[in-house]
Structure 1
Amino acid sequence: MLTGKLLKIIRVNRELPQKELAEMLGVHQSYITQMETGKKPITKNMDKKIKEVLNLTEENVIAAFSLFMSTK
């Protein structure tokens, strides 16, 4: 399951603006901001939709997690 921090790492790594991701997901940009900052949880349905829209595999998520951990 994605976290907001992982979502941001993946999005930034792909040079994808929040606005564009929001349009791809059919949500408002502020919702992306809220998920990335932890103000709104990423639901199971949204997690699935994000992975589908961004064509994410578990390997991508693990790589993003590794990148996140290396920046701590």
Structure 2
Amino acid sequence: MIQGYPRLYYDPARELYQTRLELAQIRQIMQQHLMVANEMQVMVRRNHEILTMIYQRNYGAYPPDYPAFNK
């Protein structure tokens, strides 16, 4: 028996299984990133609304060069 050598045969079923596991992990990570990005977008939008409201109360107009988000 030869020891210390890599496998000399290729197992396509095992390779496919590993690929599917890796894709499932990547899909889960991408879903988590999407959830975080959506949460950040909501926070930015709320911050924009609060800043606009404060500016309107103080100056009675929208801030200059501060475009509103498309809602």
TM-score by length of 2: 0.25
TM-score by length of 1: 0.25
Higher gyration radius (CA): 2
